[in-house]
Structures are given as C-alpha cells and as structure tokens.
Structure 1
C-alpha cells in the first residue's frame, strides 16, 4: 500500500507505507493475511480455511517429478539461486 501509516517509535510518531505481507497459520487450517509496517497498524486482508489434503499424487507433484527429471542434474550441480530475486 502506498499510503503511509503512522506508528510510535522511540517516543516519536513516524510514518511509513504498509509494505509487509504477513501470513498467520493456525491449527485446524485457518490462514490469516495482514498487510502492515508494524503490528500496531496491521490491516487484515483476508481469512481463509484450508481444505483437506489427500496424499494421492497430484498433477503438481507429477509436474515437479517431470521437471526434476529434466533439470535435476543441473540443480544438483549448481543448487538454487537464493539471492537477487
């Protein structure tokens, strides 16, 4: 969010944009999403309930297996680039 949100820091009021997206995961499958710059001014963006998961092979798992067959050697040799995204 581009609009600034005020909060108190070391006795002064400062203003920064809400630039953090935070996910809260709770037992039972509840997922809550907030956007904030500090916890005092968080805005709840959404609340969701996860569906049941079965352990059967999904199309996503099949896609991952196919990708690893094709690119697995390169990943083993070079790893995954974790910076500069």
Structure 2
C-alpha cells in the first residue's frame, strides 16, 4: 500500500470513530441511553491455530515466561481464574 492509501484509510477510521461518538453524545443529550441497548464488548478472539502469534499448547513455558504470565494474570498460567488467589 502506498502512503496516500494508508493516510486515507486512517482518516476514514478516525472520522468513523468521531461520527460514532457524536451519535452517542447526541442520543445521550436526547435522553436515550444507547450504550445500555448494545451487547457488552467481548475480548478479541485469540489467533487461529497455526498462526505465528499463537503458542503451541505442547511447548512448555520457560521459567521467565511463566513468572511473567503469573505476574500479568495474577495466577499460574494454565489454571482457571477460580483456582487462583481471590483479589
């Protein structure tokens, strides 16, 4: 892609976001609450199997990676949220 195409795409995205925000503000000023009608946003889906950014389940984590994920998640990686310490 050329630079003008990238800029055009970025401008379109910004304008779309600004328009969506203006619509929400306008609806709120009219007394409507459209964000309550919308379904809650979900976390993005993980990469599909075979994607380079998806870790294979059979590859064990190194000690450093395991410590990093434990720090990020607040629990041991591979355990469910209910098994970890309560916050």
> Taking CA–CA contacts closer than 8 Å with sequence separation of 6 or more, which of the two structures ends up with the larger relative contact order?
1
- Fold similarity call, TM over 0.5: no
Q: Which bin holds the TM-score, normalised by the shorter protein?
A: under 0.3
TM-score (norm: length of structure 1): 0.24
- Whichever structure has more helix as a proportion of its residues is 2
